[in-house]
Amino acid sequence: MEGEIVIHPNSSSIFFKEPAGSTRDEQWKIRPYPRKGDDFCLSHTSEITVKSTQTPPQCTQYHDVPGIIFSVTGYTGNLFHDFTDVMVPLFTTANQFNGEVKFLISDMMIWWVRKYHRVLEALSNYPVIDFKNDNEVHCFKHVIVGLHAYMEFTIDSKLAPKNYSMVDFNAFMRRAYGLKRDSVTVLGEQPSKKPRLLIISRKRTRTLLNLNEIVEMAKDIGYEVVVNEADVSSRISQMAEVVNSCDVMMGVHGAGLTNCVFLPRNGTLIQIVPWGALDWISRIDFGDPSTQMGLHYMHYSISVEESSLLEEYPRDHEVFRNPVAFHKNGFDFVKKTFMDNQNVRLDVKRFRSVLLEALDHLTP
């Protein structure tokens, strides 16, 4: 929106002042969160009314920079959705203004703003405005209402402002958190330095049951191994430093793999895909995004013998014979069956070749 724009946060309204003599009288409503069509998600997002008028409320604050209005409800609180629903689209929308932009957050969650304050401060030179609880009437000449997500955790550089890409986003995240490494360490450059492997561990679901065995195997082939659990309570700045210090990152499909945004350029992400015909969602969520970031991506689909589902179902059960059939019951059913109730015991002999191939990515 461009023109005389008046924002009245307490009434959740945005007014567009019409010129004298105009007969236009329009009004529409918007929920400023990217997942259009997801009624459950948007039901948690407050509605904002946008209307044209010749008599808007009197301004109490004037702004000479653009404003961006967005919500941090929906599925936020899950690391993957924090990035795919807010952080990535906010980057593509706001970075073009070089900090000269103000954020108005509807459905403010203070803990979320504090958690990601480095990202917000890297994109805007100004304090965040609490859209719902602010008593001022704000006037702007340029306002963007809502964020646009292209696909899961990706950017369509052909459509994005200034043709931003996930490579740009990856570099931006390293700058925002002041990370030291822009690219991986090539093997042989520092003879005493081993390549670092980060294993993202999970405790409740999709757990690596033989983690110690995996660690020992990785050490045997030359890795320095770091094990870290990325959960909702993780301090993002500390996790960013850990990830950035590593050359290869691996883990079972889940939100913790979102931390690949902090890997140095030419790093490698290894995604372990649980049993259940989950290759498609795994590639969409992390395969395509990591490739677009300029990372090496490796995909390891476990065999039946590596799944804890063998302890719950006989070997000839349909869950093993035809897992695709379960997808007809909807994603919630698939999630409950193959994600929430499955752990992984990697065949270390089979997986060894994957880690060896990842080492090849570090050779000159």
pLDDT surpasses 80 at 23: no
Structure-token match 């703003």, residue found: 113
Domain residue extents for the chain: 2-149, 196-360
pLDDT of residue 231: 60
> Coil, strand, or helix at residue 214?
helix
Q: Which residues are CB-contacts of 289 (< 8 A; sequence separation ≥ 6)? A: 152, 153, 154, 166, 260
The per-residue pLDDT for 233 is: 55
The tokens describing 225, both together, are: 């191994």
Mean pLDDT of 56-71: 95
**pLDDT of 187:** 83
Tokens of 333: 């059913």
Percentage of the residues of the chain whose pLDDT score is greater than 70? 98
Mean of the pLDDT values across residues 175-200? 90
Region of poorest pLDDT, from 48-57, 86-95, 159-168, 241-250: 48-57
CATH domain 196-360 topology: Rossmann fold (3.40.50)
- Residue 4's SS3 state is strand
How many Å apart are CA 275 and CA 128, to the nearest integer? 43
Average pLDDT (161-173) is 96
Top pLDDT among 242 and 53 is at 242
In terms of Cα–Cα distance, which of 321, 320, 246, 251 is closest to 282? Answer: 251
3-state helix, strand, coil in the chain (%, to 5): 35, 25, 40
- Give 54's pLDDT tier (boundaries 50, 70, 90): confident
Judge contact between 286 and 271, C-beta under 8 A: yes
Residues in Cβ contact with 276 at an 8 Å cutoff, skipping those fewer than 6 apart:
319, 323, 326, 334, 337, 338, 339, 342
The tens digit of pLDDT for each residue in 302-321 reads: 999 999 999 999 999 999 99
Which pLDDT belongs to residue 289? 97
Question: If you average pLDDT over every residue of the chain, what do you get?
Answer: 93
pLDDT tens string 243-262: 999 999 999 999 999 999 99
- CB neighbours of residue 138 within 10 Å: 22
- Is residue 193 within 8 A of residue 185, CB to CB? The reply is yes
User: Does residue 232 have a pLDDT over 60?
Assistant: no
Tell me what pLDDT residue 72 has: 94
Lowest mean per-residue pLDDT among 29-33, 171-175, 286-290: 29-33
- Say yes or no to pLDDT of 234 above 80: no
Average pLDDT over residues 330-339: 93
Mean pLDDT of 231-241: 81
d(CA 193, CA 144) in angstroms, rounded, equals: 48
Confidence category of residue 336, pLDDT binned at 50, 70, 90? very high
* DSSP alpha helix (H) spans, the chain: 39-42, 79-81, 88-94, 110-115, 117-123, 166-176, 211-220, 236-244, 279-282, 288-292, 318-321, 331-334, 348-360
Q: What is the pLDDT of residues 189-203, one digit of tens each?
A: 777 789 999 999 998
% of the chain with per-residue pLDDT over 90: 78
Output the pLDDT for position 37: 82
Is the CB of residue 186 less than 8 Å from the CB of residue 317?
no
